[in-house]
Amino acid sequence: MKGKMIRLTWPSKRISLMALAIIMLWLKTYITYKISFDIKIENAIQELILFINPLAFLMIVFGGSLFFKNKFKSGYILGASCLVSAILYGNVVYYREFTDFLTIPLLFQASNMGELGESIFHLLSPWDILFFLDVFVLVLLIKWKPAFVSATPYNKRKQKVYVLLVAAISFLNLGLAETERPQLLTRTFDREMLVKNIGTYNYHIYDAFLQSKSSAQRALADGTELADIENYVRANYKQENPAMFGAAKGKNVIMISMESTQNFVINETVNGQEITPFLNSFIKDSYYFNHFYHQVGQGKTSDSEFIVENSLYPLSRGAVFFTNPRNQYRATPEILNEAGYSTASLHANNKSFWNRDVMYGSLGYQRFYNIEDYTVNEENSVGWGLKDKDFFEQSIEHLKELEAKGKPFYAKFITLTNHYPFTLDEKDASIAPYDSNSKTLNQYFLTVRYMDEAIGHFIDLLKKEGLYDNSVIILYGDHYGISENHNAAMAQYLNKEEITPYDSAQLQKVPLIIHIPGHKGKVMTEVAGQVDLKPTLLHLLGIPTKDNIEFGADLFSKDRLGFTVFRDGSFITEDLTFTKDTCYSNVNGEPVEDAAACGPYEEKAKQELEFSDKIIYGDLLRFNENVKSP
């Protein structure tokens, strides 16, 4: 077999263009895995899987050239090489910001692209040209060494051997992957795990398969799937706390989504200066949840909005705001409209960003104050747009408009200045940047501080307008701001030797602050997530949620289960953290002795994510009698 292979790959005593293209791309992919992606390898078998996983795919793609006459062969090989390299490079750029891989739904989010300009620019480097080095080599060879192109074509027998070889490599890859990670394709929400085991290219093919499957799901759904889900939700319902039910009845609700705000900045300093002086004082007379986790997937801010308003999980691929904006939902704004509230979202960005203009209709928002409702000019913008201080100042007029309707209002504010790449005008910076090898982390503290001041100023304005004492104010971080690409700098800041997967999971904590007029401040340490916000808020307003189909539980309930699932299947309980296939103890952050400790929760985590996916892909809430057509 070995001898044959050698004769095949070097048919005319020198390496063929096809074999060269395969080998260069294969090695390039492996080097990219090691340099550009942070794929955790635990043993030699996993390293072997990682090494061989691009090969079968590349052999299939480039094997296509065997069917071409010499005239077209080089064109095909060059074209395929460009395309595959571009896919790899696209993933590299996306990974730099999101520590994640591309999915097909992301490619359909074209309306987001325009805004991303500055962010994308920060993610590119002139050295990236090296990602296409092999393509240049091919071009030069085709031009200067045409002998490479005219290698003797494979006869039938050689073609058969080639096909067998591809099959053998594929089976070896899949077999090894199956032993390392059983049920890989059926039970995995973690893309890193997929790429690690089947390779980045096969992962894209699998993603395309998932795409076609999910598109068909709505048409095939008939509502029978809902019964299981309803039973599950009912069985897990947590009794409301009578002392808190209706505690804020009839009050306005002011909710602020704090862009990229992680919990590690709260009550902390940088260069000896407080990062969030306002929030630190505000939590003293609010309920402050310091074990509250974001649960977003690829839809980032929009996913956090989706979770908070629906108490459902976002999707594992793409953003629900783009994939299923016309579903039937039973979201907080719709429920509050019925309870006599006016509802509005305020965010000074294009209304179509994240497809909000369409999705907000399905969530029930009566009004979306978007960029057209604000005065935005060069003077008052930075980075992604209107500075937070100006945003809040100008928003007061809109709040007055809502107030004038003579009903309580539910107003959601989405801040923007603390967004990657965390740019800020010098005159707006109150503290000095941090000093580490990550410009992103260094700058982050400045924009967090700016946002903190902006919110403080807003609260003053609310007091001045007489709105403060009549409103519940909820602040939450939408998702992480510092991705795992800045682990070295994070470790330096946190005084740790390294950031382990356990630390990364714990860093997904975002602040949740609930201020209720007349209530004293209290630090709440129970493990919670964004899905819990909807039932918590509705109960505070005195609205029952027993019949809703949702996965969160009232944070004030006495019998709640400390348990929170991330979108990739990781989860946190009061004692354990499960991530990257390892069960850690929350006491010391070390893997637990008893490997089965996380087992029961693992099932629950998967179950909830699967149920939530079914609801969204099948648009199942249209079959629920409590969900009315908008």
Active site residues: 301
- Cα 223–Cα 226–Cα 230 angle in degrees, nearest 5: 150
Cα–Cα distance for residue pair 555/537, rounded to 1 Å: 9
Q: Which residue's CB is nearer to ligand GP9, number 181 or number 398?
A: 398
Greatest alpha-carbon span in the chain: 87
> Which residues within the stretch 514-533 sit at the binding site for Mn ion (CB under 5 A)?
none
Query: In whole angstroms, what separates CA 288 from the centre of its chain?
Result: 24
Q: Which residue's CB is nearer to ligand GP9, number 61 or number 414?
A: 414
Q: How far is the CB of 257 from Mn ion (least distance, A)?
A: 8
Binding mask 229-268 for ligand GP9 (x = CB under 6 A): ------------------------------x---------
Q: How far is the CB of 567 from Mn ion (least distance, A)?
A: 15
> Which residues within the stretch 342-371 sit at the binding site for ligand GP9 (CB under 6 A)?
347, 349, 353-354
Query: Out of 252, 262, 301, 323, which residue is the one contacting ligand GP9 (CB under 6 A)?
Result: 301
Residues ≥6 apart with Cβ < 8 Å to 393? 457, 458, 461
Q: Residue 293 binds which one of Mn ion, ligand GP9, none, with CB within 5 to 8 A depending on kind?
A: none
Q: Residue 414 binds which one of Mn ion, ligand GP9, none, with CB within 5 to 8 A depending on kind?
A: ligand GP9
- # residues near ligand GP9 by CB under 6 A: 10
Q: How far is the CB of 354 from ligand GP9 (least distance, A)?
A: 6
Q: Are 346 and 371 in contact (CB under 8 A)?
A: no
Q: Are 567 and 189 in contact (CB under 8 A)?
A: yes
> Which residues within the stretch 295-314 sit at the binding site for Mn ion (CB under 5 A)?
300-301
Binding mask 487-506 for ligand GP9 (x = CB under 6 A): --------------------
> Which residues within the stretch 240-269 sit at the binding site for Mn ion (CB under 5 A)?
259
Q: Which residue's CB is nearer to ligand GP9, number 57 or number 354?
A: 354
Query: Out of 305, 390, 478, 526, which residue is the one contacting Mn ion (CB under 5 A)?
Result: 478
Q: Which residue's CB is nearer to ligand GP9, number 165 or number 258?
A: 258
Q: Which residue's CB is nearer to ligand GP9, number 354 or number 410?
A: 354
What angle separates helix 156-180 from helix 2-9, to the nearest 10 degrees? 120
Q: Are 64 and 52 in contact (CB under 8 A)?
A: no
CA within 13 Å, CB half, 584: 20
Q: Which residue's CB is nearer to Mn ion, number 29 or number 301?
A: 301
Q: Are 4 and 161 in contact (CB under 8 A)?
A: yes
Cα–Cα distance for residue pair 386/349, rounded to 1 Å: 8
Query: In whole angstroms, what separates CA 352 from the centre of its chain?
Result: 19
> Which residues within the stretch 566-595 sit at the binding site for ligand GP9 (CB under 6 A)?
none
258, burial (CB in 10 Å: exposed 0-12, middle 13-18, buried 19+):
buried
Residue nearest to ligand GP9 (CB): 300
Which amino acid, 423?
Answer: T
Q: Residue 566 binds which one of Mn ion, ligand GP9, none, with CB within 5 to 8 A depending on kind?
A: none
- The residue range among 374-382, 386-394, 476-484, 572-580 that interacts with Mn ion, by the rule CB under 5 A, is 476-484
Q: Which residue's CB is nearer to ligand GP9, number 486 or number 539?
A: 486
Q: How far is the CB of 97 from Mn ion (least distance, A)?
A: 12
By three-state DSSP, how is residue 531 classified?
Answer: helix
Q: How far is CA 444 from CA 170, 408, 419, 429, 440, in A?
A: 44, 36, 8, 11, 6
Cα–Cα distance for residue pair 535/325, rounded to 1 Å: 22
Instruction: List, as own/partner pairs, every contact residues 300-304 make where C-beta atoms lie below 8 angstroms and the sequence separation is at least 24, other chains included.
Output: 300/478, 300/479, 301/257, 301/259, 301/354, 301/414, 301/478, 301/479, 302/354, 302/355, 302/356, 302/359, 303/479, 303/567, 304/257, 304/476, 304/478, 304/479, 304/530
Q: Which one, of 135, 117, 33, 131, lies nearest residue 78 by Cα?
A: 135
387 lies in the site for ligand GP9, by CB under 6 A:
no
Q: Which residue's CB is nearer to ligand GP9, number 353 or number 502?
A: 353
Q: How far is the CB of 415 from Mn ion (least distance, A)?
A: 9
- Cα 324–Cα 513–Cα 372 angle in degrees, nearest 5: 50
180 lies in the site for Mn ion, by CB under 5 A:
no
414 lies in the site for ligand GP9, by CB under 6 A:
yes
> Which residues within the stretch 327-346 sit at the binding site for ligand GP9 (CB under 6 A)?
none
- Residue ranges in contact with Mn ion by CB under 5 A: 259, 300-301, 478
- Residue ranges in contact with ligand GP9 by CB under 6 A: 259, 300-301, 347, 349, 353-354, 414, 416, 419
